[in-house]
Amino acid sequence: MTDAAALPGQPRGTVLSGPATARAVNVLAPNASAMTLDGTNTWIVSEPDSELAVVIDPGPLDDVHLRNVLDTAEKAGKRVALTLLTHGHPDHAEGASRFAELSGTAVRALDPALRLGDEGLAAGDVISLGGLELRVVSTPGHTADSLCFHLPADRAVLTGDTVLGRGTTVVAHPDGRLGDYLDSLRRLRSLTVDDGVHTVLPGHGPVLDDAQGAVEFYLAHRAHRLAQVETAVEDGLRSPQEVVARVYADVDRSLWPAAELSVRAQMDYLREHGLI
């Protein structure tokens, strides 16, 4: 058995619902798949002595899950007062409207189409609720509307799909762009170096206790894949499907459609920089 501490980011192991830090509690959605790993992590975040809580990424449109999120908060003596979205993919956001109905909250997101209420989200925003402070970090790349939330009091960052607890993230071409994604990873690395962030609370997979190690691994992985794609094109492979078959030959074929999205993003990046 591999020691989790030896894996990138030092994952905690089994993904469970329950407290992850002093201020963050996970409620795991029952939507496990090859793409969602163990399921979507819905995060309830609040100050320990506050009656108010924020929910990040209600998850899929599943009434049992959405009510479980509310029940979990209520059993802890919390009232959900705000809903936030890291991005608009259905496994994170499809249940947001129904959750807003159940909880009576507004939904704040970068994409205006996902908002319920007058306020959106933008880079640099600070969300304050019941003594809780969350700082909005712009992290496009997986999607154009991807955000992360810095939780300074726990030295943690909630990353949605920008950094996962296991494996790596798809750059979802054409909405996602590799150049943006690399910039976002560097922004997260700065949080680990300059702001002391050490814990990643991801949208899927286990909590990571070595945020800097995880981000460094992601940057190295992207550089490696990019070099592989560049070599494949130089060797005469022209279609994304051909490149996937070579570069992702060791990956389960059920994941090749997702890999193709990343390959398309990588080929676009290489063209933009005059490398192919």
**DSSP assignments along 161-203, one per residue:** TSS-SSS-----TTTS-HHHHHHHHHHHHHHHHHS---EEEES
Mean pLDDT of the chain: 96
Which pTM does this prediction carry? 0.95
The pLDDT value recorded for residue 5 is 63
Find the radius of gyration of the CA atoms of the chain.
19
Q: Quick check: helix, strand or coil at residue 262?
A: helix
Q: Beta strand 18-19 with 199-202: parallel, antiparallel or unpaired?
A: unpaired
Res. 13 pLDDT band, cuts 50 70 90: confident
Res. 70 pLDDT band, cuts 50 70 90: very high
Residue 89 has pLDDT above 80, yes or no: yes
The pLDDT value recorded for residue 3 is 59
Res. 1 pLDDT band, cuts 50 70 90: very low
Distance CA 165, CA 142 (A): 15
Residue 195 identity: D
Domains observed in the chain: 18-212 (3.60.15.10)
Residue 72 has pLDDT above 90, yes or no: yes
* Model pLDDT for residues 134-183, shown as the tens digit of each residue: 999 999 999 999 999 999 999 999 999 999 999 999 999 999 999 999 99
Query: Closest by alpha carbon to 21, among 209, 273, 259?
Result: 209
* Model pLDDT for residues 39-68, shown as the tens digit of each residue: 999 999 999 999 999 999 999 999 999 999
Residue 231 has pLDDT above 90, yes or no: yes
Residue 2 has pLDDT above 60, yes or no: no
Query: Closest by alpha carbon to 132, among 197, 58, 48?
Result: 48
* Model pLDDT for residues 185-212, shown as the tens digit of each residue: 999 999 999 999 999 999 999 999 999 9
**DSSP assignments along 41-110, one per residue:** EEEEE--TT-SEEEEE---SS-HHHHHHHHHHHHHTT-EEEEEE-S---HHHHTTHHHHHHHHT--EE-S
